[in-house]
Chains A and B, each alone.
Chain A
Amino acid sequence: MSIPGPVRPVVLSLRGVSKAFGAVQALRDVSVECRAGEIHALVGENGSGKSTLLGIASGFLAPDEGTVEIGATRLRRASPADARRLGLGIAYQDYSHVLDLSVAENLFLAVPPHERPAYRSMDDWAEKTLAPFELDIPVAAPAGSLSLAQRQLFEVAKALLTRPKVLLLDEPTTALGPEAVEQLHALVLEQARAGGAIVYVSHRLPEVLAVADRVTVLRDGVAQGTFDAASVSEGRIVTLMIGRPLEVAFPERRAQDADEEILLSVSGLHGERFGPIDLAVRRGEIVGIAGAEGNGQVPFLRALAGAEQASGSAECDGRRLDRSSPLGPLRAGVVLLSGDRRGDALFPMLSVRANATVQVLRRLSHAGLVGRRGERRAIESLVQRLRVRMGSAEQPVALLSGGNQQKVSLMRPFLRGDVKVILAEEPTQGVDVGARFDIYEALRAKADDGVAMVVKSSDPIELAGLCDRVVVMSRGRIVEEIPRDELGERRIVEAIVGSRRRQASAT
Chain B
Amino acid sequence: MKREWLPPALMMILIVALGAYSEAHHSTFLSKLNLNSLLLEAMPLVLVSLGQACALLVGGFDISVAALMTMCVVTASFTMTPTMSGIALVPGAFALVGVGLATGLFNALLIRLLRLPSIVATLGTLSILEGASLLLRSFPEGPINSDVAGALSSGVSFLPYAFVGVVVLAIGADVWLYRTRTGLALRAVGLDATSSRRLGMPTGRTIVLAFAACSVMASVAGFYLAAEVQIGSPIIGNQALESIAAAVLGGASLAGGKGSFFGTLLAATFLTEIDNVLPLFQQPTEYADMTIGVLILLALVLYQAPQLLSRARAARQRTGRLPTAGEAPAS
Residue pair B188, A109 in contact (C-beta under 8 Å): yes
Note all chain A residues with C-beta closer than 8 A to B200.
80-81, 83-85
Note all chain B residues with C-beta closer than 8 A to A108.
181, 184
Bound-complex Cα distance A113 to B202 (A): 13
Note all chain B residues with C-beta closer than 8 A to A84.
200
Bound-complex Cα distance A58 to B194 (A): 14
Residue pair B180, A81 in contact (C-beta under 8 Å): no
Residue pair B320, A311 in contact (C-beta under 8 Å): yes
Within A316-367, the residues touching B (CB, 8 Å) are 324
Most buried by A among B187, B192, B320, B330: B192
Residue pair B198, A92 in contact (C-beta under 8 Å): yes
Q: Which residue of A lies closest to B198 (CB)?
A: A96
Residue pair A109, B201 in contact (C-beta under 8 Å): yes
Residue pair B179, A95 in contact (C-beta under 8 Å): no
Note all chain B residues with C-beta closer than 8 A to A90.
198
CB distance from B76 to the nearest CB of A (A): 41
Question: Known: A108-B184, A309-B319. Contact between A100 and B191, CB under 8 A?
Answer: yes
| Interface size in chain B (residues, C-beta < 8 A) | 28
Question: Known: A311-B320, A311-B329. Contact between A97 and B181, CB under 8 A?
Answer: no
Interface 1/0 per residue, A80-117 and B, CB below 8 Å: 11011100001010011111110001001110010010
Interface 1/0 per residue, B300-322 and A, CB below 8 Å: 00000000000000010011110
Partner of B201, one of A81, A272, A312: A81
Bound-complex Cα distance A98 to B320 (A): 28
- Say whether B26 faces chain A, with CB atoms less than 8 Å apart: no
> How many inter-chain residue pairs (CB < 8 Å) link A and B?
74
CB distance from A105 to the nearest CB of B (A): 6
Within B276-331, the residues touching A (CB, 8 Å) are 315, 318-321, 329-331
Partner of A324, one of B187, B192, B201, B321: B321
CB distance from B195 to the nearest CB of A (A): 5
Bound-complex Cα distance A272 to B179 (A): 35
Residue pair A311, B188 in contact (C-beta under 8 Å): no
- Say whether B22 faces chain A, with CB atoms less than 8 Å apart: no
Note all chain A residues with C-beta closer than 8 A to B202.
81
CB distance from A176 to the nearest CB of B (A): 20
Bound-complex Cα distance A102 to B195 (A): 14
CB distance from B94 to the nearest CB of A (A): 34
Partner of A95, one of B185, B195, B320, B330: B195
Residue pair B257, A100 in contact (C-beta under 8 Å): yes
Partner of B319, one of A81, A98, A120, A311: A311
Residue pair B329, A98 in contact (C-beta under 8 Å): no
Bound-complex Cα distance A98 to B321 (A): 29
- Say whether A227 faces chain B, with CB atoms less than 8 Å apart: no
Residue pair A270, B188 in contact (C-beta under 8 Å): no
Note all chain A residues with C-beta closer than 8 A to B258.
100
Residue pair A98, B195 in contact (C-beta under 8 Å): yes
Note all chain B residues with C-beta closer than 8 A to A120.
179
Note all chain B residues with C-beta closer than 8 A to A311.
318-320, 329-331
Residue pair A109, B185 in contact (C-beta under 8 Å): yes
Note all chain B residues with C-beta closer than 8 A to A58.
198
- Say whether B196 faces chain A, with CB atoms less than 8 Å apart: yes
Note all chain B residues with C-beta closer than 8 A to A100.
191-192, 257-258
Bound-complex Cα distance A77 to B135 (A): 44
- Say whether A41 faces chain B, with CB atoms less than 8 Å apart: no
Residue pair B191, A310 in contact (C-beta under 8 Å): no
CB distance from A116 to the nearest CB of B (A): 6
Note all chain A residues with C-beta closer than 8 A to B192.
97-100
Bound-complex Cα distance A119 to B175 (A): 12
Residue pair A96, B195 in contact (C-beta under 8 Å): yes
Bound-complex Cα distance A83 to B185 (A): 19
Most buried by B among A96, A110, A310: A96
Q: Which residue of A lies closest to B314 (CB)?
A: A272
Residue pair A271, B191 in contact (C-beta under 8 Å): no
Note all chain A residues with C-beta closer than 8 A to B181.
108, 113, 116, 119
CB distance from A40 to the nearest CB of B (A): 21
Question: Known: A109-B184, A309-B319, A311-B318. Contact between A80 and B198, CB under 8 A?
Answer: yes
Q: Which residues of A contact B (CB under 8 A)?
A: 58, 60, 80-81, 83-85, 90, 92, 95-101, 105, 108-110, 113, 116, 119-120, 268, 270-272, 309-312, 324
- Other than A83-B200, A309-B319, A324-B321, give 17 A-B pairs with Cβ distance below 8 A: A58-B198, A80-B200, A84-B200, A90-B198, A96-B194, A96-B195, A98-B188, A99-B192, A100-B191, A100-B192, A100-B257, A101-B188, A109-B184, A119-B181, A268-B331, A309-B318, A309-B321
17 CB contacts below 8 A, A to B, read A90-B198, A92-B198, A96-B194, A96-B198, A98-B191, A98-B195, A98-B196, A98-B257, A100-B191, A100-B192, A105-B188, A108-B181, A109-B184, A110-B199, A119-B184, A120-B179, A309-B321
Closest 4 CB pairs of A and B: A96-B198, A81-B200, A311-B320, A84-B200
